[in-house]
């Protein structure tokens, strides 16, 4: 991958010049700018006081990177390609220089492209366009994307990079989360690689490390947006230049709105001069934030504890089949205040050893007729045993929080957060 030697300031300026030209509807308020900080890295800050409900960013649809814009750009090189009306609103720049990548684009049909998921086509496109350097119209945006150093704290990255000694010290639920991500990533890479091979393109056009980087960029920076050409909600997202400078907060401080004019950001809070602007990526635990984005919050109200494996280990095959049939298998969590309803159901099923389908108490719980109070005492007893056992295991890793190695510190933090949560919930159970 070509190393970008431009300064951060010059790359930001190039991005602004690209976005704010006479051919675009993009608008960026002069009340905000990009700054770097040791705490949160690159972010957006208020240059002056900004009232709540103030529009601050609008990105033209043609400057968003998503399934629609990519298909339009690739298909523009294929003279035999005729796109449906859902692509016609995308304004295309002059084609520019032809090269190995555009030769590949000329071979790709609409049918080839629509078989790819949004993740697959976006990661492929970023890798290919990055290789084109200044010949790519997207260069100003690509040059502002993170480097792999920004994601090295992610357990998913540890998994795919084979850091087994580090990975095996993580809590089991974190390992499971990272493993699911790794499986999805591998499938995406192999799918795109096969497409290129089918077009007799060399494998060297899709370097594994480049695909990994841009896959993680997409995963950490995509925002929800409906894609009319796709049939699954997993494909409904976009990358939005400049908007992706806004860092995460556990509470909403800006809101997003999509209309015909573009992708809009509007403040929901009052910002004082010098304050950083934030978006909420959702109510996510630190385990989720680390795996998906590569960072965690020092204090996160959304932390929870996944005890799925521990509960499943207590169930017999009939109980597991029953939970699967009723769509209550797995995803058993608790926070410092309560357990999820899914967890209540699983603990209730554990107590019923036979005649599950005809059991009136279970049916009443699942149908919302009963609050499950019949099961509460024994459910709490089982929870106490599970939590005490987990606490004993997690405590062995607490010294890692003070390790000189930053990765080891992350492992220690994840275990310490679990111990803290268990202590709070055990106190609640034993009051």
Q: What HEC string does 294-351 produce?
A: CCCCCCCCCCCEECHHHHHCCCCHHHHHHHHHCCCCCCCEECCCCECHHHHHHHHHHH
HSE toward the beta carbon, residue 380, CA cutoff 13 A: 13
Strands 247-248, 278-279: pairing kind: parallel
Long-range contacts of 199-203 (CB under 8 A, 24+ apart): 199/104, 199/107, 199/108, 201/104
pLDDT digits (tens, 9 = 90+) for 53-100: 999 999 999 999 999 999 999 999 998 878 888 898 999 998 889 999
Neighbours of 179 (CB within 10 A): 16
Nearest to 189 by CA among 155, 223, 213: 213
Nearest to 145 by CA among 65, 262, 226, 261: 65
CA 255 to centroid of chain Cα atoms = 18
What ranges make up the beta strands (E) of 194-248? 223-224, 237-238, 247-248
pLDDT at 224: 87
Please answer whether residues 348 and 375 qualify as being in contact, where contact means their C-beta atoms are separated by less than 8 angstroms: yes
Neighbours of 164 (CB within 10 A): 10
Q: How far apart are CA 131 and CA 388, in angstroms?
A: 53
Q: How many helices, marked H, and strands, marked E, lie in the chain? A: 17, 12
Longest Cα–Cα distance of the chain, Å, equals 73
3, pLDDT greater than 70: no
CATH 3.40.640.10 assigned to 8-62+241-293 = no
Specify burial of residue 122 (Cβ count, 10 A radius: 0-12, 13-18, 19+).
buried
What size, in residues, is the chain? 431
pLDDT at 1: 47
135, pLDDT greater than 90: yes
CA 244 to centroid of chain Cα atoms = 13
Percent of the chain with pLDDT over 70: 98
pLDDT at 4: 57
Our CA angle for 159, 165, 168, nearest 5°, is: 65
pLDDT at 252: 66
pLDDT digits (tens, 9 = 90+) for 365-400: 999 999 999 999 999 999 999 999 999 999 999 999
Considering the chain, what is the average pLDDT of its residues?
Answer: 92
Q: Which ranges in the chain are annotated with CATH 2.170.270.10?
A: 8-62+241-293
HSE toward the beta carbon, residue 30, CA cutoff 13 A: 0
Identify the residue whose tokens are 């084109």. 132
102, pLDDT greater than 90: yes
Strands 55-59, 41-46: pairing kind: unpaired
N-terminal to C-terminal alpha carbon distance within the chain: 58
pLDDT digits (tens, 9 = 90+) for 309-352: 999 999 999 999 999 999 999 999 998 889 999 999 999 999 99
Residues 108-114 have a mean pLDDT of: 94
pTM for the structure as a whole: 0.90
The tokens of 259 are what?
Answer: 């209309």
pLDDT digits (tens, 9 = 90+) for 194-251: 999 999 999 999 999 999 999 999 999 999 888 888 878 888 899 999 999 998 877 7
39, pLDDT greater than 50: yes
DSSP reduced 3-state for 190? helix
Residues 92-111 have a mean pLDDT of: 94
């Amino acid at each position: 991958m070509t190393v970008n030697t431009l300064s951060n300031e010059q790359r930001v300026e190039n991005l602004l010049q690209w976005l704010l030209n006479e051919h675009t509807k993009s608008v960026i308020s002069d009340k905000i700018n990009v700054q770097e900080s040791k705490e949160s890295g690159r972010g957006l800050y208020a240059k002056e006081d900004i009232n709540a409900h103030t529009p601050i960013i609008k990105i033209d649809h043609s400057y968003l990177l998503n399934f629609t814009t990519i298909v339009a750009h690739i298909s523009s090189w294929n003279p035999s390609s005729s796109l449906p009306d859902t692509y016609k609103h995308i304004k295309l720049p002059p084609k520019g220089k032809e090269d190995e990548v555009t030769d590949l684009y000329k071979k790709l049909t609409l049918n080839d492209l629509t078989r790819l998921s949004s993740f697959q086509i976006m990661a492929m496109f970023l890798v290919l366009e990055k290789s084109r350097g200044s010949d790519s119209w997207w260069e100003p945006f690509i040059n502002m994307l993170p480097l792999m150093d920004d994601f090295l704290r992610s357990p998913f990255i540890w998994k795919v990079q084979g850091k087994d000694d580090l990975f095996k010290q993580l809590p089991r639920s974190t390992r499971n989360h990272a493993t699911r991500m790794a499986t999805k990533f591998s499938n995406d890479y192999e799918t795109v690689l096969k497409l290129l091979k089918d077009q007799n393109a060399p494998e060297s056009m899709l370097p594994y490390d480049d695909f990994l980087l841009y896959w993680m960029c997409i995963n950490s920076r995509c925002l929800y947006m409906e894609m009319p050409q796709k049939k699954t909600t997993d494909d409904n997202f976009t990358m939005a230049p400049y908007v992706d400078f806004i860092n995460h907060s556990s509470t909403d401080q800006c809101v997003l709105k999509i209309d015909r004019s573009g992708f809009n950001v509007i403040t929901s809070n009052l910002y004082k001069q010098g304050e950083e602007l934030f978006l909420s990526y959702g109510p996510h635990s630190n385990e989720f934030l680390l795996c998906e984005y590569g960072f965690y919050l020092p204090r996160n109200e959304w932390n929870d504890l996944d005890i799925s494996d521990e509960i499943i280990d207590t169930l017999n095959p009939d109980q597991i089949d029953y939970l699967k049939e009723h769509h209550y298998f797995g995803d058993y969590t608790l926070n410092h205040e309560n357990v999820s309803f899914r967890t209540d159901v699983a603990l209730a099923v554990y107590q019923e050893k036979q005649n599950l389908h005809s059991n009136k108490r279970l049916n009443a719980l699942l149908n919302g007729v009963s609050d499950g109070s019949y099961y509460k005492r024994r459910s709490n007893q089982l929870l106490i045993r599970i939590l005490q056992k987990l606490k004993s295991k997690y405590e062995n890793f607490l010294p890692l929080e003070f390790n000189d190695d930053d990765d080891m510190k992350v492992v220690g933090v994840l275990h310490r957060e679990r111990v803290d949560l268990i202590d709070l919930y055990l106190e609640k159970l034993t009051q």
